Amino acid sequence: MPPQMLRVVYSAFRLAMLHWIADPQWVIPNIIAPFVFTVVALTLFKSDVTGQFGLYAVLGGGMMGMWGNTLYSSGFAIEFEKWQGTLEEVLAAPSNLMHVIAGRSVSNALFGLTNMVAILLIASLGFGISLGIANPILFAVSLVLTLLSVSALGLIFASAFVLSRSAQVFTNGLEFPIYVISGSMFPIWLLPFWVHPASYILGPTWGIEAIRIAAGQEKGFLGFWENIGIMVLITVVYLAIATVLFKLVEKKARRDGSLVEA
Partner 1 sequence: MSSLRIFFSSAIFSFRAQFGWLNPPMWLTMKFALGLSQMAFFVFVGQFITKDPNLTHFIAIGNALQSVSWNTVFSVINITNHDKWEGTLPLLLATPANRLPLFIGRAMLHVLDGMLSVAISLVFAAFIFGVNFANTDLLALTVAVVLTAFTMAGFGLLIGGFSFYFRDPMIIANIFTFILLIFCGVNFEVSQLPEPLRPISQAFPLTYGIWAARDHKRELIDRNLSTVR
Residues making contact with partner 1 (CB under 8 A): 25-26, 28-29, 32-33, 35-37, 39-41, 43-48, 53, 56, 83, 164-166, 169-170, 172-174, 176-177, 179-180, 185-187, 190-191
> Which DSSP letter does residue 213 get?
H
Q: How far is the CB of 208 from partner 1 (least distance, A)?
A: 14
Counting other chains too, the contacts that 81-90 makes at CB distance below 8 Å and 24 or more residues apart are: 82/260, 87/259, 87/260, 88/259, 88/260
CB closer to partner 1, 43 vs 86: 43
Alpha-carbon distance 68 to 217, whole Å?
25
Please check whether residue 207 is in contact with residue 225, taking contact to mean a CB–CB distance below 8 angstroms. Answer: no
Q: How far is the CB of 174 from partner 1 (least distance, A)?
A: 8
Q: How far is the CB of 61 from partner 1 (least distance, A)?
A: 11
CB closer to partner 1, 3 vs 197: 197
Alpha-carbon distance 122 to 137, whole Å?
24
223 sits in the region (left: phi over 0; alpha: psi -120 to 50; else beta) called beta
Q: How far is the CB of 198 from partner 1 (least distance, A)?
A: 12
Alpha-carbon distance 59 to 209, whole Å?
10
Q: How far is the CB of 228 from partner 1 (least distance, A)?
A: 24
